[in-house]
Structure 1
Amino acid sequence: MESSNPNITWREWLIAPAYEKAAQGDYSLIKELQNVFSNPYKQQSKELESKYNVMKPKQFFNLGGISHYSCSS
């Protein structure tokens, strides 16, 4: 199962804060996410697991563009 399902999956609510920081010239979160998503099946550090392998925070529920994710576009 672990070899066919990524450990951490791409979610817009994970990516949106990285866009905002990058717009201000801070690319650290973009680089961190790039590293995480370059190795989707790898077990990440406990720090990254606790940061990215979580349920969607309540503030992003029903928020168009971030709350809804479609692979069929």
Structure 2
Amino acid sequence: MSAVADAVADVYGRQAMVRLSGDTLFLPQFGKGWKVVAAGCTGADVRGLFITVLAVIVLGLAYFTTIGLLQR
């Protein structure tokens, strides 16, 4: 894999959005590394998808907290 000079990555926990000059990629982190789950989004699509991904994370954390899996 080669490096891309104009790539900008935003990482939130185990989720990332990588913006390239001509594309946007969404990657969650799995046990064996990062995998692209969405690509080719533009404009409002990018914002909408990223907000959806973050909402799923927040709802998942709220669910697991509610059932006690994250208690110390």
TM-score (norm 1): 0.28
Instruction: Pick 1 or 2: higher relative contact order, CA cutoff 8 A, min separation 6.
Output: 1
Structure ranking higher in strand proportion:
2
Structure-2-length-normalised TM-score = 0.28
Query: Which has the larger helix fraction?
Result: 1
Larger Rg: 2
